[in-house]
C-alpha cells in the first residue's frame, strides 16, 4: 500500500510525509495538501465528473467516521478500491484528534461562513484552512459537487444515524440526495430552514455543493466503535467512489424528515435546561413542557405538536445554541 494511504497515521503522529505525491499501479494519484488533507485523483480516462469531499474529525473525539475514512483511503492506496471520482479527504481538527477531545479551545463547527475571521486560536485558524481546502477543491467548473461531513453525537439518540441538510434561499433540498442517504442507512434528515455556520453549511451555501452533516451514533474512543453499524454507509460510499452506485427509489419510504421549529440560545450563566443529563436526541416533548429558562424571565415552553429535542447542551458558551426543537416535516418543498 502507498504510504500516503496512511493519512490517519501521519495525522496522529503530527508528521509530514517525505513523498507528497504518489501514484497507484492503476494511475490513481494521491497528493498530500497539508496536515490531515489529501486529494485523490483518478486517471482522466476513468474520471466520472464527481468531486467528493469527505471530512471527519471536525470534533476530535468522533472516531467512528475517522476510522471509516481511513479504511476507504487505505483501500484506494492498496488498489482494492478503484475511484472514478476526485476525492478530498479531510481530518478536520488534528490537535483535538491527537488528544481524543472534542476541541482544544472552541468548537470548529461554529466557526465557518466567516465566523473564524472574528475569532482567534488554533480552531479559528483551522476553520479558515478547511474553507480554503474546500474552495480550491470545488473550483473546477462543470463538475458535480458532494460533501459528507461525518460526525458522531455527544449523547445517545433514539434515531442513531441521521443527517442535517443545510439551507440557502431559493434552493430546494434534493429528493435524489435524500434517497441516496436513505440507501446509505440514514434514518432521518433534519431539513434546515435558515443559513448556518457549520462546515457543511459553508460548502452548501458558498461552494454550491450538495452537502450534509451526518451523525453516525455516539462518540467513542478509537477502537471502540463495534456498536456503530456503518455497513450500509460503507457500501454506499464505496459505490459512489467507484462510480457503480445503484439507482435509488425517490419515494423516500422509511426516511423520517424533520425541520427546526425553534433554536434554544443560551444568553447567560443563569441559563437552565430542564432536561435529564442523559436525555437522548430525538426525545419527544409534550406541549406545555417548560424546556429552558434564562435571565429576564426568558422561557422556552413547548407549543408544537410532535416536538422533539436534538443537541441539548447547557454547557455551551453564551450566545450559542443550547439545543434545537424540531418537528416532523412533510417534505413538500423538495426538488
Mind telling me the catalytic residues?
Answer: 215
Contact of 81 with 241, CB cutoff 8 Å: yes
Q: How far are the Cα atoms of 19, 94, 170, 222, 224 from residue 99, in angstroms, in the given order?
A: 26, 9, 41, 11, 16
Q: What does the block give as the cell for 16?
A: 509530514
Residue bearing cell 439507482: 247
Q: Return the sign of the alpha-carbon dihedral for residues 61, 67, 69, 70.
A: positive
CA gap 145, 211 in Å, rounded: 8
Helix axes 122-137, 199-207, angle to 10 degrees: 40
Amino acid at each position: 500500500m502507498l504510504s500516503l494511504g496512511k493519512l490517519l497515521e501521519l495525522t496522529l503522529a503530527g508528521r509530514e510525509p517525505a513523498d507528497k505525491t504518489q501514484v497507484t499501479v492503476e494511475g490513481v494519484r494521491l497528493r498530500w495538501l497539508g496536515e490531515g488533507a489529501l486529494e485523490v485523483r483518478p486517471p482522466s480516462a476513468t474520471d466520472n465528473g464527481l468531486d467528493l469531499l469527505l471530512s471527519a474529525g471536525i470534533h476530535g473525539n468522533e472516531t467512528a467516521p475517522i476510522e471509516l475514512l481511513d479504511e476507504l483511503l487505505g483501500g484506494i492506496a492498496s488498489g482494492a478500491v478503484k475511484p472514478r471520482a476526485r476525492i478530498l479527504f479531510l481530518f478536520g481538527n488534528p490537535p483535538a484528534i491527537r488528544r481524543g477531545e472534542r476541541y482544544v479551545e472552541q468548537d470548529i463547527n461554529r466557526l465557518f461562513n466567516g465566523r473564524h475571521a472574528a475569532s482567534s486560536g488554533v480552531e479559528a485558524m483551522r476553520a479558515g484552512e478547511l474553507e480554503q481546502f474546500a474552495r480550491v477543491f470545488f473550483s473546477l467548473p462543470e463538475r458535480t459537487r458532494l460533501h459528507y461531513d461525518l460526525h458522531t453525537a455527544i449523547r445517545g439518540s433514539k434515531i442513531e444515524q441521521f443527517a442535517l441538510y443545510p439551507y440557502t434561499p431559493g434552493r430546494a433540498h434534493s429528493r435524489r440526495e435524500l434517497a441516496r442517504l436513505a440507501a446509505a442507512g440514514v434514518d432521518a434528515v433534519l431539513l434546515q430552514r435558515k443559513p448556518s455556520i457549520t462546515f457543511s453549511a459553508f460548502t452548501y451555501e458558498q461552494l454550491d455543493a450538495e452537502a450534509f452533516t451526518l451523525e453516525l451514533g455516539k462518540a467513542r474512543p478509537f477502537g471502540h466503535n463495534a456498536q456503530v453499524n456503518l455497513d450500509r454507509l460503507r457500501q454506499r460510499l464505496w459505490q459512489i467512489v467507484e462510480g457503480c452506485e445503484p439507482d435509488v427509489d425517490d419515494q423516500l419510504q422509511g426516511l423520517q424528515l424533520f425541520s427546526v421549529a425553534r433554536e434554544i440560545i443560551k444568553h447567560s450563566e443563569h441559563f437552565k435546561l430542564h432536561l435529564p443529563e442523559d436525555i437522548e436526541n430525538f426525545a419527544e416533548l409534550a406541549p406545555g413542557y417548560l424546556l429552558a429558562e434564562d435571565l429576564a424571565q426568558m422561557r422556552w415552553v413547548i407549543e408544537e405538536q410532535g416536538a422533539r429535542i436534538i443537541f441539548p447542551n447547557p454547557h455551551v458558551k453564551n450566545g450559542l445554541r443550547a439545543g434545537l426543537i424540531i418537528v416532523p416535516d412533510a417534505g413538500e418543498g423538495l426538488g
